[in-house]
Structure 1
Amino acid sequence: MRYTAKTRLLLTLLICTVTVQLRAQTSITVKPGEKWFGGAVNDAHLMPFKEGYNLNMYGDTRGNQAAPLLLSTTGRFIWSEEPFKFAFENNKLVITETSAALIIDSAGKTLQQAFKNAAKRFFPSKNMLPDTLLFSRPQYNTWIELVYNQNQKDILNYARSIIDNGFPPGVIMIDDNWADYYGRFDFRADRFTNAAAMIDTLHNMGFKVMLWISPFVSPDTEVYRELLAKRLLLFDNSGDANKSWDKADKPVIISWWNGYSSVLDFTNPEAKAWFQGRLDHMVKTYHLDGFKFDAGDADFYPANALSFKKATPNEHSRLWGEIGLNYPLNEYRAMWKMGGEPLVERLRDKQHSWTDLQKLIPHLTTAGLLGYQFTCPDMIGGGEFGSFIGRDRLDEELVVRSAQCSALMPMMQFSVAPWRVLSKQNLTAVKKAVDIRAKYTPYIMQLVKLSAKTGEPIARSMEYQYPNQGYTDVKGQFMLGDRYLVAPMIAKTGKKTVYLPKGTWKNDLGKQVKGPAKIEMEVAADRLPVFELVKN
């Protein structure tokens, strides 16, 4: 019997794909030399996974993006529609606590092929883009400068300082505490005398404006009582695992980083319509361009919560992500199973430390492996405001190197004002990093548009682009598309080891280098090493 090429391909896929129905445990032998990635972005610095690593993704996405996906350097991938627990024990990948079938696919031979096969089947790119200003210009967030004192005067001063100090306008994000309480969607009058005029002024300066929001509602407020009466909040089962949603009468009150709040139930179409109506009100009334969707982490949806439709904590997180699809100017920090969508993701808040700076590359490239291509590194210098408290002086070199590390990633975002905390020399170095980004922006935009079509990562790990050549543990450099190798200085030593694959490369100083090669180099304070592949 003769088969067509299409039939042969289908037969191959059937042979290479195993669907494992629910069972107590699935044990997969790790092949010699096989390395695994996936699960939670915020654990990417621990990848490839080592013996002893384990994670139960049910209700735990590590405060950042995650997906029910594991991928290996031999081309295998594992997918399930629901979260599961996995561990590496005795040279085996052991999967337990499943609530949906496992797909185990071995059709590929490399990490790249594993990703492409998984993406095509389970999270294909939608050929849609977020607002491209997020990629083409730096972003500016008011968080570190103002923290909880968001106010009209200081926001405008921050914006003017951006331009006065020679930085290009782009997207500006107004962060938390702009409202009287959570769930109220109007600017607080004591800090914003005319918010619409403020945003109009920002527009005239060349900015687009985003506003921080969350799915929380402050208890014992007018809005809370309205939503409670309409049953648009998550309810508490009061310790009765058999209680149904319609019989519950007490809302869940959860603890989060800003106290205690009730939570909107987006399994209920009426809650989703109410929330989107409030967002549209903010756009119409105050001329906003989009929203920074914070929180939504799976662990903010507790096990005792009852919702209009039954849902896992992870599914609640995914539903939070769906709301952003209505706004091209969006940003998320927590996400579940929304790869391939035109949503902007940001890495979890990093501390102002060299240790956390060194996490940016593995975290960003792993986000790409999970389908989150439109990802921003954390705020330059760090976004965890607690690490700035009590510091008489920031580490200026760290801020500079952080800017350089972000410069050729899909996006770069400022928060702490470089002109306030840096010497003239170091400020010049940061501005040079912004200029470097401007030089490569046309290529970055090509990659962004291509990624919207194909789903391929914009920033790629060395193992992804150069499989099975010994680069699985290289975390200090990445490929920007298939043309540029970017090797930022991310340690205080000033010395860098760069691994060049086979080919002829031209570095940012104009010198040609033949690969494969291991290069030990000193990196000047204002330099971002970039190697262009000129010949394979």
Structure 2
Amino acid sequence: MYAGQTPAEVLRRYHELTGFPRRMPDWATGYWQSNSYYTSQAELLAVAREHLSRGLPLSAMFVDFMHWTHLGEWEWDREQWPDPAAMVAELAAAGVRVMVAVWPHVSPQSKHFADLLDRGLLVHGPDGSLAVFAFADRAEPSGVDLALLDLTQPEARRFYWDRVRENYHDIGVRAFWLDACEPELSEPAGTLREAGARFARGHGTEFAGMFPLFDAQAIREGLDEIGDDESMILERSAWAGSQRYGVTVWSGDIQSTWESLRTQVGAGLNMMASGIPWWTTDIGGFFDADAESEDFRELLVRWFQFATFWPVVRLHGNRHPDFFNSGIFSSGGPNEVWSFGEKAYEVITGLLFFRERLRPYVQQVTDQSAATGMPPVRPLWFESPHDPVAVRVEDQFLLGDDVLIAPVLQRGATSRTVYLPANARWRNAWTGHAHEGGTWITIEAPLHIVPLFVRDGSDLTIDSSWFER
């Protein structure tokens, strides 16, 4: 049991028990571009070159699943990715890192399968057969039963890292997307997936939930061994202590709806209060979007405004209008910032340049998180636990001590009410007007404006010019 006089004190004591966050590398506070998925080296480079030719900020490009030979080999498919080292080098020269999807599953067609089975490094079921995940692979689009590497074992973690290092890190990849780490397993109807897994450490009901921790441990300990403190880890799940391995968690394959956007606010703030300070969301949602519709384009802009104030800013999603019938190998169509019409592009471009100007402050706030455990993004009640109004506000948040954000979360809204926490004055970044704390105000918020306030006395000079190119 641990306790404290304030939320910050309670969370610090939690970190003393489970570990403090790793420092976020400077490069990682920039903009991350992704799609589901770029199908080839040529396609990814074409997107990156176009992005950079437009003079837009870019920090990372994503290589998603199916870039590999077989699951469980952790190697590039050289037909579609003929020279990944050259690709990584070209992007690095432009200041762009490459993030690669890494799954813990092993196909029966993997050249490592028999060896891993013989060495007892795969997860089994209660009857001694392999625990499996029925899913597609590069060579098996109709599906195959995939085994799961038992990362609760140090020997398996070493094997995993060695493959990741020699095929990705050694050519300059500096970010690892540890997907399907819940872990993904198939289960008979009416049973829990955990009940059908037997790890070396114990029963699935005891250890399956910890799998993302072991997954991150394998990569982080490998990085530490070679002195790399600049690489990032992205996961879909986490466990108590994941923060000590520098894990960034994203909220998974969420629907492209206004309801989903509203849910992201609480999801992110709950992660902050739970000791996981690096969090992000798929801007625009992952599926069920009509990229040509004005409704989705409005949603995308409002989602981008929300996401701009979190530790990691990442555009990702499958934009196929018939997602569920598009097939596992559907890349989903264009998902670049210029793909959604001129009106959206103009606003998003302003947000990208605003984020660049905000990055020194974001780095300052994330550095504070690494040192003290204080979350970089905070619910109002975290800073004002004795303010009876602040504790009820669920759709606003603070970035660090000085920046208050009230994202627009309703379709068609052009204004919203904002609560300004007590014991401070707050300056509207768009108008320059200062308001007393402890009050509600209503402000105009047409599509290009995200309601944004700066604490009076802050060194930040944020104003409307920060949103200009």
* Cα pair 1:283 1:290 within 8 Å, conserved: no
Alignment CA distance shift 1:278-1:298 (3 Å): closer
CA distance in structure 1 between the aligned counterparts of 2:83 and 2:40, rounded to whole angstroms: 11
* Cα pair 1:505 1:535 within 8 Å, conserved: no
Q: Give the aligned partner of residue 185 of structure 1.
A: 74
Q: Give the aligned partner of residue 402 of structure 1.
A: 303
Structure 1, unpaired ranges of 5+ = 1-102, 239-247
Q: Give the aligned partner of residue 350 of structure 1.
A: 254
Q: Give the aligned partner of residue 226 of structure 1.
A: 115
Could you say which structure has the larger radius of gyration?
A: 1
Alignment CA distance shift 1:176-1:315 (3 Å): same
TM-score of the two chains, using structure 2 as the length reference:
0.82
Q: What pairs up with 1:434-453 in 2 under 5 angstroms?
A: 434-453=352-371
Q: Does residue 228 of structure 2 align to residue 314 of structure 1?
A: no
- Which amino acid is 2:216 matched to? G
**Which of 493, 503, 507 is the aligned partner of 2:428?**
507
CA distance in structure 2 between the aligned counterparts of 1:299 and 1:110, rounded to whole angstroms: 38
CA distance in structure 2 between the aligned counterparts of 1:522 and 1:321, rounded to whole angstroms: 44
- Which amino acid is 1:526 matched to? H
CA distance in structure 2 between the aligned counterparts of 1:441 and 1:284, rounded to whole angstroms: 26
- Which amino acid is 1:134 matched to? A
**Which of 123, 126, 134 is the aligned partner of 2:28?**
134
**Which of 323, 328, 331 is the aligned partner of 2:218?**
323
Q: Give the aligned partner of residue 381 of structure 1.
A: 284
CA distance in structure 1 between the aligned counterparts of 2:175 and 2:445, rounded to whole angstroms: 39
Q: Give the aligned partner of residue 474 of structure 1.
A: 393
Query: Deviations 1:90-135 (Å, cap 9, x if unpaired)?
Result: xxxxxxxxxxxxx3x5x43444443333333x22415x32433111
**Which of 266, 272, 277 is the aligned partner of 2:162?**
277
CA distance in structure 1 between the aligned counterparts of 2:83 and 2:183, rounded to whole angstroms: 36
CA distance in structure 2 between the aligned counterparts of 1:284 and 1:391, rounded to whole angstroms: 35
Q: Give the aligned partner of residue 253 of structure 1.
A: 132
TM-score of the two chains, using structure 1 as the length reference:
0.72
Count the aligned residue pairs.
411
CA distance in structure 1 between the aligned counterparts of 2:169 and 2:392, rounded to whole angstroms: 49
Q: Give the aligned partner of residue 213 of structure 1.
A: 102
Q: Give the aligned partner of residue 336 of structure 1.
A: 239
Residue 339 of structure 1 deviates from its aligned partner by 4.7
Alignment CA distance shift 1:284-1:362 (3 Å): closer
CA distance in structure 2 between the aligned counterparts of 1:284 and 1:133, rounded to whole angstroms: 17
Residue 165 of structure 1 deviates from its aligned partner by 3.0
* Cα pair 2:73 2:110 within 8 Å, conserved: no
Residue 414 of structure 1 deviates from its aligned partner by 1.8
Alignment CA distance shift 1:299-1:174 (3 Å): closer
Query: Deviations 1:297-356 (Å, cap 9, x if unpaired)?
Result: 156463232222325212333211212324432211111112541222222232211111
Q: Give the aligned partner of residue 195 of structure 1.
A: 84
Alignment CA distance shift 1:362-1:109 (3 Å): same
- Which amino acid is 1:494 matched to? T
- Which amino acid is 1:281 matched to? E
Q: Does residue 184 of structure 2 align to residue 303 of structure 1?
A: no
- Which amino acid is 1:251 matched to? L
Residue 156 of structure 1 deviates from its aligned partner by 0.6
Residue 535 of structure 1 deviates from its aligned partner by 5.4
Most deviating of 265-274 and 337-346: 337-346
CA distance in structure 1 between the aligned counterparts of 2:367 and 2:259, rounded to whole angstroms: 32
Q: Give the aligned partner of residue 525 of structure 1.
A: 447
Q: Give the aligned partner of residue 404 of structure 2.
A: 485
Which secondary structure state, in structure 2, belongs to the residue aligned with residue 356 of structure 1?
helix
CA distance in structure 1 between the aligned counterparts of 2:109 and 2:338, rounded to whole angstroms: 40
- Which amino acid is 1:194 matched to? D
* Cα pair 1:324 1:343 within 8 Å, conserved: no
CA distance in structure 1 between the aligned counterparts of 2:381 and 2:12, rounded to whole angstroms: 14
- Which amino acid is 1:527 matched to? I
Structure 2, unpaired ranges of 5+ = 138-142, 186-192, 224-230, 318-334, 459-469
Q: Give the aligned partner of residue 81 of structure 1.
A: none
Which secondary structure state, in structure 2, belongs to the residue aligned with residue 355 of structure 1?
helix
**Which of 96, 102, 119 is the aligned partner of 2:15?**
119
* Cα pair 1:151 1:192 within 8 Å, conserved: yes
Which secondary structure state, in structure 1, belongs to the residue aligned with residue 44 of structure 2?
helix
CA distance in structure 2 between the aligned counterparts of 1:184 and 1:286, rounded to whole angstroms: 16
Query: Deviations 1:447-466 (Å, cap 9, x if unpaired)?
Result: 11111110100000011111
**Which of 432, 437, 441 is the aligned partner of 2:350?**
432
Q: Give the aligned partner of residue 455 of structure 1.
A: 373
Residue 523 of structure 1 deviates from its aligned partner by 0.0
* Cα pair 2:34 2:314 within 8 Å, conserved: yes
Alignment CA distance shift 1:391-1:398 (3 Å): closer
Query: Deviations 1:2-56 (Å, cap 9, x if unpaired)?
Result: xxxxxxxxxxxxxxxxxxxxxxxxxxxxxxxxxxxxxxxxxxxxxxxxxxxxxxx
CA distance in structure 1 between the aligned counterparts of 2:97 and 2:134, rounded to whole angstroms: 33
Which secondary structure state, in structure 1, belongs to the residue aligned with residue 421 of structure 2?
strand
CA distance in structure 2 between the aligned counterparts of 1:309 and 1:437, rounded to whole angstroms: 44
Query: Deviations 1:473-495 (Å, cap 9, x if unpaired)?
Result: 32221011111111121212222
Q: Give the aligned partner of residue 25 of structure 1.
A: none
Q: Give the aligned partner of residue 412 of structure 1.
A: 313
- Which amino acid is 2:407 matched to? P
Task: Give the RMSD, CA atoms, in angstroms.
Answer: 2.2
CA distance in structure 2 between the aligned counterparts of 1:359 and 1:179, rounded to whole angstroms: 33
Identity of aligned residues (%): 22
* Cα pair 1:282 1:288 within 8 Å, conserved: no
Greater share of strand: 1
CA distance in structure 1 between the aligned counterparts of 2:196 and 2:448, rounded to whole angstroms: 53
CA distance in structure 2 between the aligned counterparts of 1:535 and 1:200, rounded to whole angstroms: 44
Q: Does residue 93 of structure 2 align to residue 204 of structure 1?
A: yes
Alignment CA distance shift 1:139-1:450 (3 Å): same
Alignment CA distance shift 1:292-1:298 (3 Å): closer
